Structure 1
Amino acid sequence: MATKSLLCVQMLLLTSIVFVVLGHEAVKSEQYPLVVSTWPFVEAVRAAWRAVDAGFSSVDAVIEGCSACEELRCDGTVGPGGSPDENGETTIDALVMDGATMEVGAVAAMRYVKDGIRAARLVMQHTKHTLLVGEKASAFAISMGLPGPTNLSSTESMEKWTKWKQNHCQPNFWKNVIPVNSCGPYHGKDSLKLSDRTCSEDSLLGNIESSSSHFSVNNHDTISMAVIDKGGHIAVGTSTNGATFKIPGRVGDGPIVGSSAYADDEVGACGATGDGDIMMRFLPCYQVVESMRLGMEPKLAAKDAISRIARKFPDFVGAVFAVNKNGEHAGACYGWTFQYSVRRPLMDDVKVVTVHPHSLP
């Protein structure tokens, strides 16, 4: 009798265990896979969703999503053909991070190769490095099979650059300088004696110092994408052609891990967009993930990271999205209205979420 009772207890325990496991999987099936991306880059999210929903890894899906955005030249600020620098040239920054292994591959100021996100993955796959830059990054990408060399400028980017030159190269990203003419070359104002200045230089100095180079959705977007695959593994990726009329050689936060994006399977992920020159000083996405690790919900973690930046730089413009390992997501922004895109199970298509800027406490 005792043996029969013990057997019943064991069967009940086994049934309970099976129920818990199946129940957990049922919850996961509603949460995963998941794709989240900055901005209403709907086609990019659809491309990532097709890959991850078909069973591909989170890294594979991120590559497909960001690559689609590069091909579509999302908002003119992702992929080739947009955001000319002061010389009229377009360069590309990109990053991919595997939240399971914490491996990262990135390229910065890459010339002549249009496939930024695929180049970043090649760095992660085939080198022990994290970041390759400039023409050497281009040479590496081409040697590994990507098409190139290719002119990354377009008719639109060159027209934009020509109009900017006609406007005396305003606005720009210089400060505390004296130009030889309205479009440079420039000298540090402390490097010339007052007696060496001409009247025209003094007047041009005023123009340079009063000019503004605000970031907005019209001159600087980054696709920053996070994907959780069916196994619960997380990856992030970014791609951008940077800030319009940037000083040649400038690298924003797009290829900087922890700033534009960050992922950890144990916690969640974050993506960012905005004034990368400011954002990289705070590593907001690393901050978001670490805040969630300490128990903050995504909404509070996102707001906290943005507030830290805005308190120091009240003219800052930027945004982040946060997603935890359970698939809960939220966004926060300052200085502009931000939108991010989401696709998950039980949704017929991509949903665009609008986030309004919040004030500092």
Structure 2
Amino acid sequence: MWGMIATWQMARDGVATAAQELQQQGDAGDALVTAIKDVENNPEYGSVGYGGLPNEHGLLEMDAAYMNGNTYGIGAVAGITDVKNPITVARKLSHDHFNSFRVGAGATEYAQQAGFERVNMLTPAAVTAWQERVAEVAGKNLTPYDGHDTVGVVALDQQAKMVAGTSTSGLFMKKHGRVGDSPLSGSGFYVDSEIGGATATGLGEDIMKGVLSYEIVRLMKSGLTPQAACDQATYDFDRRLKQHYGKAGAFSLIALDKQGNWGVATNCEFTFAVATATQPLTVYTANPGPDDSTTFVVTAH
């Protein structure tokens, strides 16, 4: 049995390549890095890696995380700059018992000393988008924040190893040093090879309030299917957040269990990609169901 699920349609090509690795007895960690690097390297995806969304000062600060479900090893970076593939830095850090979560200049320095490729990740198109947004905000008195799509992946290989990982440039026009949920264990990601894993995408400030990825894994451990766990965790927290906090930003969760079963829940329209030993690569669109407690999923067109 093997499988992979990833957030957003932008992950489709990466999942296609990674699925071939998994089908051929490949390691889940290698396959996950393959899938995420494909998104990080594509400047067409303006929320992850090369060509990602700049912060308020026009700087591209990136976040990424990796977790090994066999060992619980976690590596993460936040606010890293000028590094081609943050997910590879996060994976290397997951082998370190100490100092495995690096931020800002410390993360960038670590990557450079460890020999990771240094690249200017800002593209002309991203700079232009930032300049236009600055002018639009100033001229129309708008909120600057727009766009926060994280690529999140959960993978299962034929040796029953599971991993989870995330990568993002975070909230467009975010304040310098702002970090969302993506590199935070339990919020942006969590995985246990004996149970399953989950990752999140959306407004990090709200996702981290509910520690939703860990909650989904906990619910799967209690016996719920990935779909039931996603539904319960996501919609229950969406209701409670609106009740206690007054509002809820957009967020979506995906999950995969140790048998290759998957689930998804969202409070907005959301696309995701899935490939398993029993299912060819498929991209789906998910929406909250009419009862706000289940998820309506259709094949994307």
Give the alignment's TM-score, normalised by structure 2. Answer: 0.89
Correspondence for 2:273 among 297, 319, 341: 341
Correspondence for 1:64 among 11, 26, 34: 34
Contact conserved, 1:82 with 1:156, CA < 8 A, in 2? Answer: no
Q: Does residue 235 of structure 2 align to residue 307 of structure 1?
A: yes
Cα distance in 2 for partners of 1:53, 1:141 equals 31
Provide the residue aligned with 1:294 in structure 2. 222
Cα distance in 2 for partners of 1:227, 1:107 equals 20
Query: Which structure has more strand as a fraction of its residues?
Result: 2
Structure 1 residue 78: Cα displacement: 1.0
> How many percent of aligned residue pairs carry the same amino acid?
28
| Structure 1 counterpart of 2:229, one-letter code | A
Cα distance in 2 for partners of 1:260, 1:91 equals 17
Provide the residue aligned with 2:249 in structure 1. 316
Correspondence for 2:131 among 162, 165, 169: 162
Superimposed CA distance per residue, residues 55-84 of structure 1 (whole angstroms, 9 cap, x where no aligned partner): 221111111111111112462111122211
In the alignment of these two chains, the number of paired residues is 286
Summarize the alignment of residues 128-277 of structure 1 with structure 2, pairs less than 5 Å apart: 128-148=98-118, 150-169=119-138, 207=141, 211-212=142-143, 219-277=147-205
**What root-mean-square deviation, in Å, do the aligned CA atoms of Structure 1 and Structure 2 show?**
1.8
Q: What secondary structure does 1:142 align onto? A: helix
CA gap of 1:165–1:146, structure 2 versus 1, over 3 A, is same
| Structure 1 counterpart of 2:41, one-letter code | E
Q: What secondary structure does 1:326 align onto? A: coil
| Structure 1 counterpart of 2:249, one-letter code | F
Q: Does residue 288 of structure 2 align to residue 357 of structure 1?
A: yes
Correspondence for 1:327 among 260, 273, 287: 260
Contact conserved, 1:79 with 1:92, CA < 8 A, in 2? Answer: yes
Cα distance in 1 for partners of 2:21, 2:63 equals 23
Q: Does residue 17 of structure 2 align to residue 43 of structure 1?
A: no
Superimposed CA distance per residue, residues 247-271 of structure 1 (whole angstroms, 9 cap, x where no aligned partner): 1110111111111111001111112
Structure 1 residue 300: Cα displacement: 1.6
Structure 2 gaps, min length 5: 294-301
Contact conserved, 2:275 with 2:282, CA < 8 A, in 1? Answer: yes
Cα distance in 2 for partners of 1:113, 1:66 equals 14
CA gap of 1:69–1:252, structure 2 versus 1, over 3 A, is same
Provide the residue aligned with 2:49 in structure 1. 79
Contact conserved, 2:234 with 2:266, CA < 8 A, in 1? Answer: yes
CA gap of 1:289–1:346, structure 2 versus 1, over 3 A, is closer
Superimposed CA distance per residue, residues 210-244 of structure 1 (whole angstroms, 9 cap, x where no aligned partner): x44665xxx12111001100011110111111110
Cα distance in 2 for partners of 1:169, 1:274 equals 25
Q: Does residue 6 of structure 2 align to residue 34 of structure 1?
A: no
Cα distance in 2 for partners of 1:151, 1:52 equals 32
Cα distance in 2 for partners of 1:140, 1:214 equals 30
| Structure 2 counterpart of 1:354, one-letter code | T
Query: Which structure has more helix as a fraction of its residues?
Result: 1
Contact conserved, 2:145 with 2:171, CA < 8 A, in 1? Answer: no
Contact conserved, 1:47 with 1:68, CA < 8 A, in 2? Answer: no
Structure 1 gaps, min length 5: 1-31, 172-206
